[in-house]
Amino acid sequence: MEVARALEILAIAVTLAVCVVTDVRRRVIPNRCVIVVVVVRGVYLLASLRGSATCVSAFVGAVEAATVLMVSARVSQTVFGTQGVGGGDVKLVSALGLCFGAVWTPVLIVLMSAFILVAQCGHVVRCGRAGWRCTLERAVPAAPAIALAAAATWGLSLYMEKL
């Protein structure tokens, strides 16, 4: 793996760690963290002189993520009466879509959804039937699932590059 790619992954991993801490403590994903992810990815794309196909793929990945999460938020609001997916979650996953591109963003979304579902099921078991009713104090933070899904997706993508 090239040094620039390793630095990009490290910077985004640190940013995701900050997101996890703030989301667990305050149920907020700071906009600054999202901006850091976008800037780091942009700098990497410019510094590595990737072709336009890579830039288009990155943009499509971001649009894929934003679309899926915004639809999920709307469905959650309509069906359950709660937002379910916060704006910070949508922005963070969309920014990560820039990193993973059109090919790997669906993997990120599927893994993230699976991790959130497991966390929500654990929340329901712990809180009983009232666990499905989401309040800010009892909401399951999504940043840990997003960070875990990002790590798994990076691992898979780096492994597949070596094959």
Could you identify the residue written with the tokens 């920014």?
A: 95
Lowest mean pLDDT among 20-24, 111-115, 135-139: 135-139
Indicate the length of the chain as a whole number. Answer: 163
Indicate if the pLDDT at residue 155 is higher than 80.
Answer: yes
**What is the C-alpha separation between 62 and 36, in angstroms, rounded?**
15
CA distances from 4 to 7, 48, 153, 155 (A): 5, 8, 18, 17
Percent of the chain with pLDDT over 70: 86
Token pair in block for residue 116 = 């959130």
Domain count within the chain: 1
Helix (H, G, I), strand (E, B) or coil at 89: helix
Model confidence, pTM: 0.86
124: containing domain: 3-162
Give the pLDDT band of residue 162 (cuts 50, 70, 90).
confident
**What is the C-alpha separation between 154 and 71, in angstroms, rounded?**
25
Q: Tell me the Cα Rg of the chain.
A: 16
